[in-house]
């Protein structure tokens, strides 16, 4: 996903033009929290590209549908914006209870697995690496 943004906006403009302000703030906030936890990381002077690694699934979804990102970069991959949002929310419905020590119910599990399968097929069909 990051490579798609860099390819479209350019390696020096993707952070400023391709991400909504709230997503950038969240990435900065998570990075600062990580520095609080691990002060030695401050020496790394984490780049915006490195901060991108700290975005959660919700922030990534927001970035994909933000501004011209959807039409110009991601529409060909995911086809339908409402379906994309629904599938990501299904995944989040499975992930969130698990990561917050709550039990996911059967419907969340079924929807989450279905969403993960859908996302995996979209990524595979376009030979994308979701981690770059």
pLDDT at 130: 54
Tell me the C-alpha distance between 66 and 26, whole Å: 15
Q: Mean of the pLDDT values across residues 49-72? A: 93
**Of 25-34, 61-70, 78-87, which gets the smallest average pLDDT?**
25-34
Mean pLDDT confidence for 104-116:
89
Task: State both tokens at 61.
Answer: 């979804």
- What are the domain boundaries of the chain? 2-125
Tell me the pTM: 0.82
Position 95 pLDDT exceeds 60: yes
Count other C-beta atoms under 10 Å from residue 54's C-beta: 17
Q: Is 90 exceeded by the pLDDT of residue 53? A: no
Instruction: Decide which of 126 and 63 is more confident.
Output: 63
Q: In three state form, how does the secondary structure of 77-96 look?
A: HHCCHHHHHHHHHHHHHHHH
C-beta separation of 92 from 108 below 8 A: no
pLDDT, tens digit, 9 for 90 and up, residues 4-15 = 999 999 999 999
């Amino acid at each position: 996903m990051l490579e798609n943004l860099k390819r479209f906006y350019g390696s020096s403009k993707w952070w400023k033009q391709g991400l909504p302000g709230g997503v950038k703030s969240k990435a900065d906030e998570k990075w600062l929290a990580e520095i609080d936890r691990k002060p030695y990381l401050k020496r790394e002077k984490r780049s915006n590209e490195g901060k991108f690694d700290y975005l959660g699934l919700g922030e990534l979804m927001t970035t994909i549908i933000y501004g011209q990102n959807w039409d110009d970069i991601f529409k060909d991959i995911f086809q339908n914006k409402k379906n994309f949002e629904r599938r990501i929310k299904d995944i989040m419905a499975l992930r969130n209870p698990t990561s917050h020590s709550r039990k996911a119910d059967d419907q969340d599990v079924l929807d989450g697995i279905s969403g993960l399968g859908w996302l995996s097929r979209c990524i595979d069909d376009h030979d994308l690496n979701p981690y770059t």
